[in-house]
Amino acid sequence: MIYPAEACYHSVMDSLKEISQRKLVDILDRIPGKKDLVIDPALMKPLDKITGVNMLRAHGVEKIHKMEKSEVISSCSSLVFLVYADLITAKHVVDQVQASRQRDSKLLYHLVLVPCGLLPINQLIEEEGLYGIVNVHVFAWELIPIDSHVLSFEIPHLYRTCFLNGDYSLLKSVAKSLWSLQMVFGKIPLVLSLGKLSKIVQNMVSGHFEDFGKPDVAVNKIGYMVIMDRSIDYTSSLLTSVTYTGLLDEVFGIKCGAVEFGKDVTGKANPVTYQLSSKDEIYNEIKNKHFADVYPTLKTRAKELEAHFAQLKAADLNTLKHHIKNEIRIVMTKRQSLSYHIGACEGIIGSMGGKYQELQNVEENIVRGRSKKESILYIENCLARQMSYTLALRLISLLSITEGWLTYDEVGSLKSQFLHAYGYKHLVTFHNMEKVGLFSTPTPSSSSAFGGVGDIANRVVQVVSLPKTNTFRLVAQKLKLFPDGNNVQDLKDPSAMGYVFNGLYIPLVCQLVHLLLKKEPKSVIEEQLKSVPGPSLWSEEVLMGSQSSNRARVVLVVVIGGVTQAEIGALQLLEKLTNSRIIIAGTSMLNGNLLMQQLVQS
Amino acid sequence: MELKPKGKISMEDELLVLRRKVQNRWEAPPVEETLRRILLRLPFSLDAYRSLEEKTKLLDAALEQGNGDAILSNRWEAPPVEETLRRILLRLPFSLDAYRSLEEKTKLLDAALEQGNGDAILSLPELNNLLESLGRSREASIIQFNLAMRGVDNARTNPSRSQRVLNSLRNCLASHFSNGAAEMDRPFIVNAIKLFEWQMAADEKFKSMKGESSAEECTLGLAALATLSHSCRYHWEGNKPKSGVTDPLSPSALCQSLGISQRAYQWTALKVKAQEHNWEAGWFQGIRLIGGGSGAPMADVAAELHSQGAPEDVVVRYINLVEGIEERIALANRLQCYNAAIDIMKSQGDRLGIIKLKSRLPTGSEGELYAELILRSSTIRWKN
């Protein structure tokens, strides 16, 4: 089904890209003469999505260097550093400038910060005596379209700075980008924000409408916005998704909508960066499919293609000519796409194959709150065999979040075994996990083997406080995040969002969007959200009678801290089921492994 | 900024407005107004916020808003904590004298801890004491420990510093993990120290055994299980009769000292011995213990041995320990131990199963011939 205003959304999405492009070009144009560009390697992929080498060249860029430790020698009049705004990176730039000035005092230096300026960086430049020598610019890019209706702000370190370090400097950029998005799409009449950071962002956005202006656009193209902190629903980022894209991300890692395939997948000597796009017919068909159904689909398509080639063999000259002229390119692209996806499937089976079913069972047991001992045993086996540390941490976190009743000894023993396998330095990782709410240490019981000082008072407290109310279960029950077990559904042809986790769990944000689309009254939704930890904020524009009932069935979902492929898959299914349009945005794309990596002290 | 008044305004009104502005010059404007100006990067002044109350109000509002710039640009009597932390981080001169009140100190520490760049800060005794005095011992301890562990990482490339690293670990334990909230992590620190001591001794021993040190075999800084691998490789007791005195470098001694689980020990040993192609049957019987009777790990053991190139009879021995006939057959097929699969089916009298398997095997292959042989046998009582 094609949504009536489909084309319109595509063009508006493209306009976000154009605004970013314009902003970058403006900065480059403000720097006179030829310049060399030194780019933070982490910025390469997002920049590819915004601009190309040709465009940079057209605006005076001579050479493009990756920023490394060694200093860049430039023959141009200006040297432009393009980096993420981060004090340490800025210090590296400053060091390079100092070194370069020893040799060539005529060169002009520019520092372009993404996505915002930071006061400490300006102070650093002043202190190093480089004020007026290094010119600071800010490149506040807009949300970057990754695929159709999927946007990303591509600030992966936002999770760490905001959630772990409690440094909110980056939030103002997020707010600004949501403001500019509404300048293009029209002001969103109903906004629901969930969590502390989301509330801050929403308040900033409201402020921006007062200060920077409101959109002229008469029609509100987007009817609803939901902003949520990642910390509200960690479960969706810890569980293993069963969709094709989810597993692709799990095994190969999707970066900025592209995935790097090695020799085993492509059969080519050099790794190939493959852009995942819904415009690719094959990918579009399988992207959200349950993995069990992907291989058969690909096989069918491969057979069709074979049949097509067989037909050609028997075809007469005219048909062949027609084919070569019109179809061959499409067919060849399709063939390549097919072969890559088949290769990727094999890669996924090879990497997950043996453990997949078992892992699914363990995740299911943990989420359903049963067979705790078995789950612990599984984790212990993973640790003993030194399998991936991120997998072990994910399961430990999942257990800690969902099981309100992990004992002090169980926690201590898991921690101890983890430290044996991966090093005592990870004591800090556990501490970080505690800080962000992914792990908790219960109070020691009197029988503790871990040096707890058990006195009677402690024991009494323990007895009295049991059974603990588990927030996870409370929230899940209130919001009906556990799919109905009696209503067994065909996972291959899903009719409910829980399919992304094999019918185990529905991502919280998706359920919330569903409630909004069902036009549940405010009071009902607010009641359901009461159990969710963290503040929620409901801001609604007062609309004229007819307008409110005709609110566009278009939802913008924003996850601060990163959105997961499972959430995207579930929302895209919801879109189909409810005949609505859902635009998904994250401060970055996230999965369980990336989440854990952010918590390991570098 | 535009200096013209908004809309039409009479001269008298303007005069009034201006007079009020001049009069109010030294009164603090509402915090919301100031924060808005900071957020919009308009000129602003914080000079008028002089009383502690006003300052607190402004700071609270800034925190509530998440307005980091406002927090940073605030010229408190003491420099903003972020400013001080930044100076410490970049190794610029700084002073902590101005942080007098408990509130200021706490804020400084909070920010320091949140930044997680404790290495510079905690090398400073005054801050260290501060953390303790504020009852933030757990966080302080963890950061202090992190700092000491970096030394452990460095010791790997520079073993001559290991004694110093060991001392810093011991100091850390004594001064940070002996009481208070951090005590719960004490056992881990104790073990980290034991492990490091063990590694120093093992590297010394290795040097004396081989007459030279090898960077590859250096254990300093490795995790406990990786160290255990080293122990299994070079200090293996195997089936040697116990002399009564346990070698402190032996795997069992290491496990006991650190509390490494039996399961982790067996997996580690299994991997090492498999890599050495040492298929001491008697020893591997010990693997039975893994998993406490549940079937899955046995299959994992067989798969691991197979992937390490163990001879088929060794692998088959473990396949036969897997519970459930179906599982055994499936595993034997997966690990390409076809003869074993055929044997299992034979014992079940499953003729059709063998025929089915035979049809999948290449003609003339060993498995195919074996299947043929079994099928022709007249002594077997088939059930199908």
pLDDT digits (tens, 9 = 90+) for B79-102: 667 777 666 666 555 666 656 566
Taking only the tens place, the pLDDT of each residue in A136-177 is 999 999 999 999 889 999 999 999 988 987 778 788 899 999
Name the pLDDT band for B277 (thresholds 50, 70, 90).
confident
d(CA A74, CA A107) in angstroms, rounded, equals: 8
Structure confidence at residue B116 (pLDDT)? 52
Which range scores top for mean pLDDT: A312-321, A337-346, B154-163?
Answer: A337-346
Among A505-509, A563-567, B84-88, B215-219, whose mean pLDDT is lowest? B84-88
Average pLDDT over chain A reads 86
Q: Do domains A17-141 and A143-239+480-602 have the same CATH topology?
A: yes
Identify all chain B residues contacting A158, using CB atoms and an 8 Å cutoff. none
Q: How confident is the model at residue A564 (pLDDT cuts 50, 70, 90)?
A: very high
Classify A581 as helix, strand or coil.
strand
- Going by C-alpha positions, the residue among B295, B253, B326, B258 that lies closest to residue A377 is B295
What tokens does A220 get?
Answer: 């509100």
pLDDT digits (tens, 9 = 90+) for A235-261: 999 999 999 999 999 999 999 999 999
pLDDT at B162: 87
| Structure-model confidence comparison of residues B198 and B64, the more confident one | B198
CB nearest to A383's CB, from B39, B152, B264: B264
Most A-contacting residue of B75, B86, B306 (CB-CB within 10 A), to test interface: B86
Note whether A171 contacts B149, CB cutoff 8 Å: no
This model of the complex carries an ipTM of 0.82
Mutual orientation of helices B102-115 and B81-89 as an angle, nearest 10°?
50
Per-residue pLDDT tens for A435-486?
A: 899 998 877 654 444 433 434 444 444 444 444 567 888 899 888 898 876 5
User: A420 and B223: CB-CB below 8 Å?
Assistant: yes
Chain B residues whose CB is inside 8 A of the A419 CB are 188, 191, 223-224
**pLDDT value for B5:** 55
Instruction: For chain B, say whether A443 makes contact (Cβ under 8 Å).
Output: no
Evaluate whether the domain defined by A247-356 bears CATH number 3.60.130.10. Answer: no
Interface test with A, best of B82, B165, B184 (most A CBs within 10 A): B184
How far is the CA of B90 from the CAs of A95, A118, A213, B117, in angstroms?
Answer: 12, 16, 40, 11
Record the tokens describing residue A326, joined without a space. 């019109």
Task: Write down the CATH superfamily of domain A369-403+406-466.
Answer: Sec1/Munc18 (SM) protein, domain 3b (1.25.40.850)
| A355: closest chain B residue by CA | B300
Q: pLDDT above 70 covers what percent of chain A?
A: 90
Strand-pair partners of A135: A110
* Structure confidence at residue B320 (pLDDT): 81
pLDDT at A563: 97
For the segment B163-175, what is each residue's pLDDT rounded down to a tens digit?
888 998 998 888 8
Q: What is the pLDDT of residue B215?
A: 75
How far is the C-alpha of A551 from the C-alpha of B26, rounded, in Å? 49
Mean pLDDT over residues B361-377, rounded?
A: 84
A267 lies within 8 A of chain B by CB: no
Q: Which of A211, A419, A452 sits opposite B188 (nearest CB)?
A: A419
Q: Pick the residue from chain A with its C-alpha nearest to B66.
A: A168
Q: Return the CATH number of A143-239+480-602, one of 3.40.50.1910, 1.10.8.60, 3.40.50.1980, 1.20.140.10.
A: 3.40.50.1910
Q: Is B147 on the interface with A (CB under 8 A)?
A: no
Choose among A212, A412, A421: nearest Cβ to B225: A421
Q: Name the amino acid, one letter, at B85.
A: L
Tell me whether A126 touches chain B (CB under 8 Å): no
- For B376, the token pair is 């022709």
Residue B174's contacts (CB-CB under 8 Å, 6 or more residues apart) are none
Token output for A255: 């970066």
B-contacting residues in A 71-90 (Cβ below 8 Å) = 87
In DSSP terms, which residues pair with A517 in a beta bridge?
none
Nearest CA in chain B to A123: B83
Q: How confident is the model at residue A342 (pLDDT cuts 50, 70, 90)?
A: very high
- Counting every residue written for chain B, the total comes to 384
Q: Which residue from A211, A386, A451 is facing B40, i.e. has the nearest CB?
A: A211
User: Given CB atoms, is A354 within the 8 Å cutoff of chain B?
Assistant: yes
Q: Inter-chain contact B188–A441, Cβ cutoff 8 Å?
A: no
Question: Which of A113, A140, A146 is closest to A256 using CA atoms?
Answer: A146
The DSSP annotation for A536-578 comes to EEEEE----HHHHHT--SEEEEEEET-EEHHHHHHHHHHHHHH
- Taking the domain A17-141, which CATH number applies? 3.40.50.2060
Mean pLDDT, to the nearest integer, of A119-141? 85
| Model confidence band, residue A62 (pLDDT cutoffs 50, 70, 90) | very high
Residues of B whose CB is below 8 A from A354: 303
